[in-house]
Structure 1
Amino acid sequence: MRIFATTALALMAAATPAMAQDGTFQGPRVEVVGGWDRAQTQGVGGSGFVYGGGIGYDLQRGKTVFGVDAEVTGSTLDKCEFGVCAKAGRDLYAGARIGVAATPNTLVYGKIGYSNGRMIGYTATQRIADNLDGVRLGAGVERSFGNVYGKVEYRYTNYSQNVERHQVLGGIGYRF
């Protein structure tokens, strides 16, 4: 019995460094995201559900966190008025973020980057798809639970051709 107890204590002591990663915002990460999506142009727009995934890498120095990330999302946004319809397609994003570890397990951050969104316009007889380039600004809060984290984020994207997009989403990720 003593050998079993000694072995169990030795294994727990060996596992402690892995548990010490709580609160760190450094290293590569992957995540899935989902939430509310609204696109509009000149006051006309619609809402849907945004979904997708991303990758990133963060570097923490003291309480300051610098990172880069990339994301691919889709949307259920599909709005029709007077026989003319607009649909949001895929969205590609690459950018940077900077944040502050407000607590050992909570990161508050802002982000900026390039976004390329596909917008599709269609009627009963025509379909026009266009890729729009834009700038995304965002802010969020990330909470670490060891290697797993959750986040809530708001972001605004201003595309060419007077198209704006607002999104509020949540995400779950894994930091390696």
Structure 2
Amino acid sequence: MKKTLTLLLAGASGAALAVPAAAQDNSAFTGPRVEALAGFDLTKAGSDVDNDVDDDDDESIDGFMYGVGVGYDFAVGGIVLGAEAELSTSTADTEVEDGDLEDLGFGARLDTGRDIYIGARAGILANPRTLLYVKGGYTNARFNFEADDGETELETDLDLDGIRVGAGAEYALSERSFVKLEYRYSNYSEGEFDFSEDDFFDDDTGESGRFDADLDRHQVALGVGLRF
């Protein structure tokens, strides 16, 4: 009986010691963080506006995305929750290079501008050094548009509002440094132009009226960051 009681006490003591140890397993993934991001960026017309007529017209642009992000993560039981924000841009662009429009003296160019994201994420530990997570939030993207018909030039910005969802894995190099890889999908459903000509203004704000949009964005991003 005495031996059995000793074993039970030893087991209870071990379990008590294991609780704080398990709680500390999340320490490499909690606290404030900053990160640099880079990866692949593809933007294309959504299903509502894709013409689906010409197979050679994929209505998409792609390029290299890069940016910075900040966030704060905390543990709730065995789950890591966090808030995050990101500012990025991309080299993706397109322009009228040939065809009837160019023959008529019309030219146009679309460049990808800045992209702002604010959202949250939730993750679980796959092992003490690897966090698997999902994310979601609000994104506002800007595209720079230029057009010239031989007589009139138009230069304006197109601002689009949408939502972003994604998933990824973060690996702790140490308690203060990490790398991560994630996929993100964004859909922009509303937009407005910032015209440079007064004739286009709907009011005194210098912005056109808002309109419905359908633009899909796919990104694969690699991140490297530090925790504090």
Q: TM-score, normalised by structure 2?
A: 0.65
Match of residue 217 from structure 2: 165
Higher RCO (C-alpha 8 Å, min separation 6): 1
What do the CA deviations read for 1:22-56 (whole angstroms, capped 9, x no partner)?
86211000000000001112350110111110100
Q: How does 1:130-141 map to 2 (within 5 A)?
A: 130-141=158-169
Matched residue type, 1:171: G
Match among 88, 91, 97 for residue 73 of structure 1:
88
Match of residue 7 from structure 1: none
Q: Secondary structure of 2:82's match?
A: strand
Match of residue 8 from structure 1: none
CA–CA distance in 2 between the matches of 1:63 and 1:140? 18
User: Are the counterparts in 2 of residues 23 and 105 from structure 1 also a CA contact under 8 Å?
Assistant: no
Q: Secondary structure of 1:123's match?
A: strand
State the Cα distance separating 1:114 from its structure 2 match: 0.2
Q: Secondary structure of 2:29's match?
A: coil
Q: TM-score, normalised by structure 1?
A: 0.83
The structure in which a higher percent of residues are helix is: 2
Match of residue 108 from structure 2: 84
Note the residue ranges of structure 1 that are not aligned, 5 or more in a row: 1-19
State the Cα distance separating 1:151 from its structure 2 match: 0.4
User: Are the counterparts in 2 of residues 102 and 108 from structure 1 also a CA contact under 8 Å?
Assistant: yes
1:46 aligns with 2:50: no
What do the CA deviations read for 1:65-113 (whole angstroms, capped 9, x no partner)?
1000000001111112353322110000000000111100000100000
1:150 aligns with 2:170: no
Match among 112, 118, 126 for residue 94 of structure 1:
118
Note the residue ranges of structure 2 that are not aligned, 5 or more in a row: 1-23, 51-57, 99-106, 190-212
The structure in which a higher percent of residues are strand is: 1
The more displaced of 79-88 and 129-138 is: 79-88
Match of residue 110 from structure 1: 134
Report how many residues are paired.
Answer: 157
